[in-house]
């Protein structure tokens, strides 16, 4: 890309093309591990659909890679800059365009923060259910592009289950609308579902019609402390077998409790070796909570019914349990998922393999979905040998999840970091099919190249 190209873009979008060193540095990466530090050529801030179309027409003319970006909170390197790219920031497209309370839908721009949408629709007794732990700062556009999950997804499903329609700008600047504003609709191929989770590799999401759910009138929260982690994982299955559906079912191991205590001054580890955090909601919340309590006490848990303030605090602590630091090559948080029936086995395998490889491990899990976030780390001072052990533990944990019928990524996406494992999960024929779909949407390969499905 010559400087002339950027000048042309700056003329098309005056004041919107940033090339200051600190701007480029700030937008070079998301929170995932960086394999190769690359600075973008420019950060371009869109304020309208027309801006996005202008940027993509320009990018197609000059064959310039475009990395879309919301809040940059992804942890797979999906928003990392790639060679010669511009970063297309959608953060300023942050208007809630419509709330149709009777239809239980809303239409938003991609840069709307998840928590802001929830605050706005709460006035109508509604909620936008998918709530990633990053909901206070991640964008709906980023949530759509990663098919984000969250805490309430145990009951209400992931992003894909709450998105009805999308407006998307394709690589050549064409604007298309997919889906429908009704809850049902099966006309043609489900391109909306295809675009959700495509990590900015098929198009730029510029408008989203979401389905809203009823804000529960009653909520009950239980904190169940177990002596050890596998026993707490057994509690997850006990709740399912009793056929009770909690809204939130989160599992935290002892190392996670310790690290929360040290950062937030809480006393969780003193209360037990592992925590199962359960929230029921809706009119039967109290009864369901009581049934769950009985199941968990039967497994040896010490269960306390948390009042509203303490419940909020615990849920908030859970949202912080990953830590706010970006991952790096010495500390990697994973995102595997396994069938629920394999949770206990997988949790035990994680503890065994971390000990065998001599690496540190802490685990939190959206346990209701069988989705685990083990974080493995070694001390940087321990050198190359420690990094080798970390890599071996990561590979081992992913291979084990796959052997148990799981997946390499439950909700964070493949991005850049998990590409090395994609071929372990998907056959050559499926990978080829995906490459051909990519070619249809993006023949020049300019949309977030080298991410999600590779090149």
Ligand X SMILES: Cc1cc2nc3c(=O)[nH]c(=O)nc-3n(C[C@H](O)[C@H](O)[C@H](O)COP(=O)(O)OP(=O)(O)OC[C@H]3O[C@@H](n4cnc5c(N)ncnc54)[C@H](O)[C@@H]3O)c2cc1C
Residues that bind ligand X (CB under 6 A): 30-31, 67-75, 78-79, 90, 110, 132-134, 138-139, 141-143, 145-146, 148-150, 199-200, 204-205, 322, 324, 411-412, 448, 451
Contact partners, residue 385, CB within 8 Å, separation at least 6: none
Q: How crowded is residue 228: how many other Cβ atoms within 10 Å of its Cβ?
A: 17
Task: State which residue, 142 or 235, has the beta carbon closest to ligand X.
Answer: 142
> Buried b / exposed e across 367-389, counting CB within 10 Å, b at 16+?
bbbbbbbbbbbbeeeeeeebeeb
Q: Which is nearer to ligand X, 87 or 404 (CB)?
A: 87
Shortest CB 133 distance to ligand X, Å:
3
Q: Which residue's beta carbon is nearest to the bound ligand X?
A: 142
The residue written with tokens 């602590």 in the block is 317
Nearer to ligand X, 90 or 289 (CB): 90
Q: How far apart are CA 223 and CA 243, in angstroms?
A: 19
* Residue 295 C-beta: closest distance to ligand X, Å: 25
Output the smallest distance, CB 326 to ligand X, in A. 8
Give the residue among 353, 403, 348 at the shortest CA–CA distance from 232.
348
CA distance 96 to 117: 7
Q: Which one, 143 or 397, has the nearer CB to ligand X?
A: 143
Going by the DSSP 8-state scheme, the letter that residue 97 receives in this structure is E
Angle 269-270-274 (CA atoms, 0-180°, nearest 5)? 40
Residue 417: CB minimum distance to ligand X, A: 11
Q: How far is the CB of 134 from ligand X (least distance, A)?
A: 3
Strand partners, 179: 165
3-class DSSP state for residue 192? helix
Residue 151 CB, nearest approach to ligand X (Å) = 7
């Amino acid at each position: 890309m010559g400087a002339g190209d950027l000048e042309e873009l700056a003329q098309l979008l005056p004041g919107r093309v940033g090339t200051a060193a600190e701007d480029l540095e700030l937008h070079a990466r998301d929170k995932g591990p960086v394999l190769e530090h690359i600075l973008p050529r420019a950060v371009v801030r869109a304020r309208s659909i027309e801006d996005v179309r202008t940027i993509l027409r320009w990018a197609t003319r000059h064959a310039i890679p475009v990395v879309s970006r919301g809040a940059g909170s992804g942890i797979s390197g999906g928003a990392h800059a790639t060679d010669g790219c511009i970063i297309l920031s959608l953060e300023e497209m942050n208007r809630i365009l419509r709330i149709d309370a009777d239809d239980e839908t809303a239409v938003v721009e991609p840069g709307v923060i998840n928590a802001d949408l929830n605050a706005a629709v709460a006035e109508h007794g509604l909620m936008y259910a998918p709530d990633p732990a990053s909901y206070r700062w991640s964008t709906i556009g980023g949530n759509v592009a990663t098919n984000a999950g969250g805490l309430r997804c145990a009951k209400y499903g992931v992003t894909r289950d709450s998105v009805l329609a999308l407006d998307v700008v394709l690589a050549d600047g064409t604007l298309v609308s997919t889906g429908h504003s009704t809850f049902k609709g099966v006309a043609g191929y489900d391109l909306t579902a295809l675009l959700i989770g495509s990590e900015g590799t098929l198009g730029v999401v510029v408008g989203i019609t979401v389905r809203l759910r009823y804000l529960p009138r009653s909520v009950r929260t239980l904190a169940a402390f177990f002596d050890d982690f596998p026993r707490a994982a057994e509690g997850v299955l006990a709740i399912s077998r009793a056929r009770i559906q909690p809204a939130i079912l989160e599992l935290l191991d002892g190392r996670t409790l310790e690290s929360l205590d040290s950062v937030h001054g809480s006393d969780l580890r003193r209360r037990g070796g592992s925590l199962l955090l359960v929230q029921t909601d809706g009119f039967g919340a109290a009864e369901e909570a009581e049934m769950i309590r009985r199941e968990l006490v039967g497994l040896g848990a010490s269960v306390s019914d948390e009042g509203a303030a303490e419940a909020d605090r615990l849920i908030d602590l859970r949202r912080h349990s990953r830590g706010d630091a970006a991952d790096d090559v010495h500390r990697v948080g994973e995102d595997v998922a396994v069938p629920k029936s394999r949770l206990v086995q997988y949790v035990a395998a994680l503890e065994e393999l971390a000990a065998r490889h001599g690496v540190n491990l802490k685990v939190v899990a959206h346990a209701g979905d069988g989705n685990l976030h083990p974080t493995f780390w070694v001390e940087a001072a321990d050198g190359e040998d420690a990094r080798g052990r970390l890599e071996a533990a990561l590979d081992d944990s992913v291979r084990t999840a796959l052997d148990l019928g799981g997946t390499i990524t439950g909700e964070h996406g493949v991005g850049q970091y998990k590409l090395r494992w994609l071929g372990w999960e998907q056959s050559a024929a499926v990978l080829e099919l995906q490459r051909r779909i990519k070619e249809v949407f993006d023949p020049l390969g300019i949309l977030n190249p080298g991410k999600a499905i590779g090149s």
